[in-house]
Amino acid sequence: AQSVTQLDSQVPVFEEAPVELRCNYSSSVSVYLFWYVQYPNQGLQLLLKYLSGSTLVKGINGFEAEFNKSQTSFHLRKPSVHISDTAEYFCAVIYNQGGKLIFGQGTELSVKP
C-alpha cells in the first residue's frame, strides 16, 4: 500500500542547533515528494518539493531535503533552527503521477531557547 512514514512524532531542539526530520515512503516507480509546514492556527504552507533532477532540494526559510531513492527517504534538514521554526511539519508524496497527495502523520518541531 502507498504510505508515508514520519518516524518522529515530536522533535525538541535548542535554538541554533541543527535538526533533521525523517520521512520514508513506499517504494514506487515514480514519486513526487513534498514537505509542508503548519504553524499554530494556520494553514498548510509548501516548504519545498522534489520532482526530478538534483536530489538535494532547497526550500524556504533555510530548509533543505535530500531525495534518496535506494533508502526511499526524503529527510528534511536545517543547519540552525530559530524559535520561529516551531511548527508541525508534514511529508507528502504523489505516487505514479496520480495527482493526490498522501501525507505522513506529521512531526512536531519544538525549538527551545
Footprint of another protein on this chain (CB under 8 A)? 4, 6, 32, 34, 36, 42-46, 49, 51, 90, 92, 94, 97-106
Choice between 28 and 80, CB closer to another protein: 28
Q: How many CB atoms lie within 10 A of CB 111?
A: 20
Shortest separation between residue 105's beta carbon and another protein, angstroms: 5
**Nearest to residue 69, comparing CAs of 100, 37, 27, 40?**
27
Shortest separation between residue 42's beta carbon and another protein, angstroms: 7
Q: How many CB atoms lie within 10 A of CB 59?
A: 17
Cβ neighbours of residue 70 under 8 Å, at least 6 residues apart? none
Choice between 59 and 66, CB closer to another protein: 59
Choice between 15 and 49, CB closer to another protein: 49
Choice between 17 and 51, CB closer to another protein: 51
d(CA 65, CA 46): 13
